[in-house]
Chain A
Amino acid sequence: MRLKPGRLIAGLLQMLCAGSAYAAYGVNFQPPVTRIASEIYDLHMLMMYVILAIFCVVFGVMFYSIYAHRRSMGHEAAQFHENTTVEIIWTAIPLVILIGMAWPATKTLVAFKDTSNPDITIKATGYQWKWGYDYLKGEGEGIAFQSKLATPPEQIHNQAPKGENYLLEVDNPLVVPVGKKVRILTTANDVIHSFWVPAFGIKQDAIPGFVRDTWFRADKEGTYRGQCAELCGKDHGFMPVVIVVVSQEKYAQWVSAQKAKAAAAAEDPNKQWSADELKARGEKVYAANCVACHQANGKGLPPAFPALDGSKIAVGDKKAHIDIVLNGKTGTTMAAFGKQLSDTDIAAVVTYERNSWGNKTGDAAQPAEVKAARK
């Protein structure tokens, strides 16, 4: 939708009545809910006071000089042009001020880096363009799921009004108990991402092939929202981080519910599905994982994102089709979905792609075939 002049006026008026979960015209960090975030908040305020003081002194002198030492006021120029004492003084004083700032900064830095003795360890994997969470150790161990942006595309494309947590909402948020030390391991599946939750005061780059870590201990229950903080491709702005901090009891309930769900979802790998069942399921898988690049109409966004409708792969050899969905294609953004989706989901989406739009292969792919294709 093009930007029109009328929208300019409407937009300006909208400024007067902003409605969102957070304060409009926010001028400072979000309220901290961890000790580290509090220390960072206080460090920032301390620095601001020092900077403000220096600002007032330095520019007070400058503006006074501009007023008093001007030709039009009749001021004649002095000719002094050096003074070693003064140079030493205005080198030493800033140095002392800096040391004063470095001391509390060092303390917070060291505390920030101390990820030892966590209660729960969770791995956060950055994907293009969503997060995957694996609960590795501590209560909840074994739970794993993906967390994608839940804002409907209609809101993004200005066809529906924007919700309260526009661009900051996900389908499956991370859930952690209040007051417990949570260690977050970060890694990535493809390019560098960054895991950032402002209210916790944490940000840690997620680097493919490497594992880094950070930690937090949330002092207050609530829902806290952050975003990916490292350019990772076209949907970098559309992969938020949402963490729900709950009481210990609620957390235990959530853990049992997750485990039950996982048990129910675990499927018999040898089950034979009907083509219609696969296509129906595949349509859902496609909508959740493939639409961003290959588009709902299968036409893609060539050349970066090829069309599937009428593509050689989707109407050609089924094994090759399964292979590219499982293993991705190096040198492109086509990810290896074998790491993210179950055999049944891959079988379903391949069946859907081979029998949708203009593609009418009549093929169906069974989960057993996908399992066999995994090396």
Chain B
Amino acid sequence: MSAVIDTHGHGEHEHHPSGLMRWVTTTNHKDIGTMYLWFSFTMLLVGGVLALTIRSELFEPGLQVVNPEFFNQLTTMHGLIMVFGAIMPAFVGFANWQIPMMIGAPDMAFARMNNWSFWLLPAAATLLVISFFVPGGAPAAGWTLYAPLSTQMGPGMDFGIFALHIMGASSIMGSINIITTILNMRAPGMTLMRMPMFVWTWLITAYLLIAVMPVLAGAITMVLADRHFGTSFFDAAGGGDPVMFQHIFWFFGHPEVYIMILPAFGIISQVIPAFARKPLFGYASMVYATSSIAILSFIVWAHHMFTVGLPTAGLLFFMYATMLIAVPTGVKVFNWLATMWKGSMTFETPMLFAVGFIFVFTMGGFTGLMLAIMPVDVQLQDTYYVVAHFHYVLVAGSLFAIFAGTYFWIPKWVGRMYDETLGKWHFWLSMVFFNITFFPMHFLGLAGMPRRIPDYASQFTEFNMIASIGAFGFGLSQLLFLYIVLKVSVFGKGDKAPARPWEGADTLEWTHLPSPAPYHSFHEQPEVK
């Protein structure tokens, strides 16, 4: 286990190339983490521009800004870019930066494969975005790519399929790396049940990724085959079944949404104890709850298919199993509250985002429970209620957790404190505009507005206008975040950060490493007592 550790132990030799080649050839988990994070931020802004174009069109009834074909490309690409380009790589960036430091390891287990996992992503993203410019435009079947609509599309769909394959390969390699690192390279004394929760959530997420990314690959390959190789997996005329695509896709798709939230739970589980100055309540329960959520996530996929025409017994099973996930999720929320309870809290920006997360993510959880009730879902499936639900859990959930983690750990990464006043502004603007954008969408869905439409009936006008205004506010607020991050990292402004700026934080990166963390940390393994 010590073969890869540099045990010279004297001073810092920063042997790495400079300039562009440093980034192209790096095998350092900190460099790779940085690249993942900047990549995901860029994709967030690209996906955001697509969203603002969508909301411009939906400001009023009538077609004003784009035509319906292009609108469908916008909604599809917004989804694909945000899921695969923004949220997932951001969490992998956190995994890369934090996991080795938090377990006392010098780097990831497979440092070169780590480099390859990252560099596949800009290539995949380029392929995906280029699809806008091929004949027929970008994929326009929704991010869910249902057949047979996806088998009908132009070459842009093939670009999208290949991009997804590449991103899937990147995720699988990253997950192998994460699991191997966590299971083999923990410092002596750090048993599994003494790991930080962030590490636990990533261990579980990595297993989910390995299990389901190949399933997505299978589904989209079948679409590719139906498109070009004369097969009829999803064509009834040839003996196939369009619904089979949905089963296969959602067998991936449901664990995928947990892949996008479990690392968020991990970040929150680090931030809340630090700012409450109190240990995480119920560590063992949190581990069991997270594991239960992961296991349950495999048996609920057909709740995305409640209106397809499944038999009654199937509908009942999936309804009950889906409702069950509320239990471990609730346990986690209660444990965070119990961590806050009788703590000694301060509310710097990371804590604001963490508490904001609990509030807004729980609301998303409530609407998820509502959608789990199949008869109610009959009215809500494919409406704006679903759009509201998943934006609450993905934006106010995953993205807010990413913000919380960035503010929390950036002092360790760059060695300077971010601007606290600006950070608080970013929080409040995001919180207010997020809710202005997405809360009215619940009403739109209840009132009967379908999703993925460029134009709508007159009675939906008012809430759509409100949502569009909120969207622009939310989008512009993220430019403030860009400025905050650039200011503290690239422009180098801000107070010098001590090794442990957050007095309640007690994991290894805070207690054993200076700020900024050295290029190679843990030349010698720390002892965890």
Contact = CB atoms under 8 A, between A and B. Distances in A.
**Real binding pair:** yes
Interface of A: 1-3, 7-8, 11-12, 14-15, 18-30, 36, 39-40, 43-44, 47-48, 51, 54-55, 58-59, 61-62, 65-66, 69-72, 75-83, 86-87, 90-91, 94-95, 98, 101-102, 105-106, 108-110, 112-113, 155-158, 162, 164-168, 190-192, 194, 196, 198, 201-205, 207-210, 212-213, 225-238, 301, 303-304, 331-333
Given A79-B279, A229-B383, A238-B455, A47 B369 contact: yes
Identify which of B148, B279, B448, B453 gathers the most chain A CB atoms within 10 Å of its CB.
B448
B421 interface: no
Q: Which 6 A-B pairs have the closest CB atoms?
A: A209-B236, A237-B453, A26-B447, A212-B309, A20-B458, A22-B459
Given A77-B344, A231-B141, A162 B62 contact: yes
Interface in B480-520: 504
Nearest to B285: A87
Given A24-B459, A24-B461, A332-B152, A227 B450 contact: yes
Interface string B277-304: 1111111110000000000000000000
B41 to A, nearest CB: 27
Contact of A303 (B56, B136, B146, B237): B136
Nearest to B76: A231
B307 A203 contact: yes
Interface residues of B, number: 103
Given A66-B340, A155-B62, A20 B333 contact: no
Interface string B121-163: 0000000000000011000111000101100101000000000
Contacts, number: 329
Interface stretch (B63-71, B165-173, B208-216): B63-71
Given A229-B383, A236-B452, A11 B59 contact: yes
A299 to B, nearest CB: 14
Contacts of A39: 375
A69 B8 CA distance: 47
A369 to B, nearest CB: 26
B307 A94 contact: no
A190 B320 CA distance: 33
Contacts of B23: none
Contacts of A109: 312, 315-316, 319, 374-375
A91 B282 CA distance: 13
A157 B63 CA distance: 6
Contacts of A75: 342-345
Interface stretch (B251-259, B321-329, B425-433): B321-329
B394 interface: no
Given A2-B64, A12-B465, A192-B148, 7 more contacts: A22-B447, A29-B448, A62-B355, A158-B64, A201-B379, A227-B453, A331-B227
B437 to A, nearest CB: 16
Given A203-B378, A231-B149, A69 B343 contact: yes
Interface in B58-86: 59-65, 67-69, 72
B455 A237 contact: yes
A106 B374 CA distance: 9
B31 interface: no
A168 B457 contact: yes
B340 A69 contact: yes
Contacts of B331: 87, 90-91
A87 B333 CA distance: 12
Contacts of A207: 236, 242-243, 308-309
Given A98-B326, A204-B309, A58 B333 contact: yes
